[in-house]
Chain A
Amino acid sequence: QVQLVESGGGVVQPGRSLRLSCAASGFTFSDYGMNWVRQAPGKGLEWVAVIWYDGTNRYYADSVKGRFTVSRDNSKNTLYLQMNSLSADDTAVYYCARQDTAMVPPDSWGQGTLVTVSS
């Protein structure tokens, strides 16, 4: 079955960096676009970034553009999110979610990893 497992979250000081990973299994990873979506504590869902199935295109939310970088390694079935210049506003659970094509929404989500930005 489809499995997405995020890792790399934790407590980090403002201004520092963190890299999240999302390990995929149970499907052909290289066939799917992948998204990062975050959810601040007690808040709604905020899309962060998407990377196409082959890595050729990437798009970001304005709130993270220039600070976050999404990447993937299809040989390792793994998605990444490099987060730099973190601030308290980035505190959230970060989910990875697969998306078959742009014609359909993300259909499978991981359990999420919590990132807390605090001094």
Chain B
Amino acid sequence: DIVMTQSPDSLAVSLGERATINCKSSQSVLYNSNNKNFLGWYQQKPGQPPKLLIYWASTRESGVPDRFSGSGSGTDFTLTISSLQAEDVAIYYCHQYYSNPLTFGGGTKVEIK
């Protein structure tokens, strides 16, 4: 199984400042046939289901604000919120869909400082 490790577990950022979340997979999730990383990011607010933000490590889902960006390749990935807004308070999960079983990181809780 591919283990996904996120850091930090939580972070507090001032409004308008940058938030950075890291995710590391125990093996590469780069699919060589199309050179895409099978890595996604979800946002989950209290009482709500997860919402897909990013797939293929850096492609924003339709309707996701451009302050959210993803980067990285192979085993190391980053989700960046360039200017934190109040509505971004949530738990963020990275997720690999490279192989079954699908696995998720433990989550990073983002709060306002």
Contact = CB atoms under 8 A, between A and B. Distances in A.
A46 B97 contact: no
B102 A47 contact: yes
Interface string B38-77: 1010101000111110011000010000000000000000
B103 interface: yes
Contact of A95 (B36, B49, B52, B102): B49
Interface residues of B, number: 26
A45 interface: yes
A62 B52 contact: no
A45 B55 contact: no
A24 B42 CA distance: 21
A26 interface: no
A29 B43 CA distance: 24
Interface of A: 35, 44-47, 50, 59-62, 95, 97, 99, 102-112
Interface of B: 31, 34, 36, 38, 40, 42, 44, 48-52, 55-56, 61, 93, 95, 97, 100-107
